[in-house]
Structure 1
Amino acid sequence: MIRLYVTTELSPGTAVAPTLDQSRYLTQVMRLKLADDLLVFNGRDGEWRCSIAEVLKKGVLLRAEEQVRPQTTVPDVHLLIAVVKKSALEFAVEKATELGSARIGLVQTDRTQVQHVRLDRLDAIAMESAEQTGRMDVPVIDATRRLTEVLDGWDATRKLMFCNETGGQPAIAAVQAAGAGPWTILIGPEGGFSPDERERLRALPFTTAVSLGPRVLRADTAATTALTLWQAAVGDWAR
């Protein structure tokens, strides 16, 4: 069944107004008609079966009928990724959403090639991925900040999985040894971290430096791989 993410509060009988783009998708692409059903979620109130209550000149109006799943949460794992090329960054956001990342942050490192990032486009990709994969929320995507600034304000109760291209412990064993709890996975730029960045990251008490294997991975591949290994070690795949 079709799923849509909305911002409206959901309760029995609530009127839900999708965006114009969502309305066009429902009526022009999926050919839904009056009284047809779909699933709707907002990240707070669970998943609801809604019906098309009105077809207007511009858009449609839905009515919330019943909750079909209570609200659930993804594991407390964040992805922190250096800004890379548009296609690779979009792929990373899509797959991080599928793999259950609760938050995605963008960072500028010493070797990051500065470029414009369209957060609205990344938000849309995350929303569509959440709709397709059945998760009950959409990850927050934070605007680009310098890595040094992020580390300066770090909450030391959150573990940092530092994916180090120069080597580290095997990822699954290292994460299992560090244990569950809030985690962030850090992925560097295509040129890798600078020596100064690696030295600082390794010295931080909350950091676990890991290896993602013997081959050099693109940033988007590394993000997908690291999240997969984390999920297998201590995430909801391991339950």
Structure 2
Amino acid sequence: MSTPRLFHDAALAEGAEIPGTPAQAHHLGTVLRRGAGDEVAVFNARDGEFAATIAHLRKDRCAFALGARQRGAAAEPDLRLVVAAIKRDAMDWIVEKATELGVSVIQPVMTRRSIVDRVNLDRLAAIARGAAEQCERLSVPEVRAALPLHAALDAWDGTPLLVAAERRGALPIRHVAAGMRLPCGWLVGPEGGFEGGELDDAMRRPFVTAVALGPRILRAETAAVAGLAVLQALAGDWDVS
């Protein structure tokens, strides 16, 4: 039986006892059928990962007794995803897989062809946290509140941002990514793609480069994951053992 990993943003130190959340108590007791004395691991990006035991567990309350640190804090890739808000199931899947692929920030954006008018930030943050617990990373990506596309671009800090633009005659992503190193961002539009004016506005920004993902038109969620995988392979941390 595998040891559950639990993200906790409190200061972590050997010998400390820290409270868990009601959601963690429910998951441990009701879903995993664990109890007091059972082993868990508690982690965050600032302090690392610690062996721990469940000090006590009730229906909606729990606490963890921290043992020895198993992993120290380590630098993680600064790979950011800017993605048009799409239907809930597909958006949930994007957040889960982007977390597994090591993204640091997920920025939903609203575009002219977006078919949803809001995203559930708490839900997406919980999905990111659960995916981080499963994939053994130490950090949980920051899921930001949705912004209009132009506002997200206006607020961008100048980090290189690649945009999926198959119909613009752009260079294949591997030709651009092979000469890059993180940090960088990956921008993906909604089903049906960006409108021409949106792409024109994006391409006027000096930090934006259009790239193509091959001869086939991909669904938004496929493009998000495919691009992140290429960037991690060519410019990210996939060559680190």
CA distance in 2, matches of 1:30, 1:114: 34
Kindly provide the amino acid, as one letter, of the partner of residue 63 in structure 1. A
CA distance in 2, matches of 1:93, 1:55: 30
The match for 1:110 is 112
**TM-score, normalisation: structure 2:** 0.93
**1:201 matched to 2:224:** no
Structure 2 spans left out of the alignment, 5+ residues: none
Between 1:111-120 and 1:160-169, the stretch displaced more is 111-120
- Report if the CA contact (8 A) 1:73-1:137 is conserved: no
Structure 1 spans left out of the alignment, 5+ residues: none
- Report if the CA contact (8 A) 2:26-2:59 is conserved: no
Task: State the aligned residue count.
Answer: 237
Kindly provide the amino acid, as one letter, of the partner of residue 200 in structure 1. D
CA distance in 2, matches of 1:212, 1:137: 28
Kindly provide the amino acid, as one letter, of the partner of residue 51 in structure 2. R
- Does the residue aligned with 1:143 lie in a helix, a strand or coil? coil
**1:40 matched to 2:33:** no
The alignment's C-alpha RMSD in Å is: 1.5
Alignment of 1:1-239 (within 5 A): 1-56=3-58, 58-156=60-158, 158-166=159-167, 167-177=169-179, 179-239=180-240
CA distance in 1, matches of 2:87, 2:74: 33
**TM-score, normalisation: structure 1:** 0.93
- Report if the CA contact (8 A) 2:182-2:236 is conserved: no
- Report if the CA contact (8 A) 1:161-1:208 is conserved: yes
Between 1:57-66 and 1:229-238, the stretch displaced more is 57-66
- Does the residue aligned with 2:166 lie in a helix, a strand or coil? coil
**1:12-44 deviation line (CA, Å, top 9, x unaligned):** 111121112211222233232332211111231
- Report if the CA contact (8 A) 2:21-2:60 is conserved: no
- Report if the CA contact (8 A) 1:164-1:210 is conserved: yes
Deviation at 1:107, TM superposition (A): 0.7
CA distance in 2, matches of 1:152, 1:65: 45
**1:170-219 deviation line (CA, Å, top 9, x unaligned):** 11221123x21321100001121111122222332222211011111111
Q: Report the CA distance shift for 1:110/1:35 in structure 2 as closer, same or farther (over 3 A).
A: same
**1:92-139 deviation line (CA, Å, top 9, x unaligned):** 101000000000001112222242311111011001100000000110
Q: Report the CA distance shift for 1:35/1:211 in structure 2 as closer, same or farther (over 3 A).
A: same
CA distance in 1, matches of 2:77, 2:60: 38
- Report if the CA contact (8 A) 1:73-1:136 is conserved: no
- Report if the CA contact (8 A) 2:35-2:56 is conserved: no
- Does the residue aligned with 2:13 lie in a helix, a strand or coil? coil
CA distance in 2, matches of 1:227, 1:122: 18
CA distance in 2, matches of 1:231, 1:19: 33
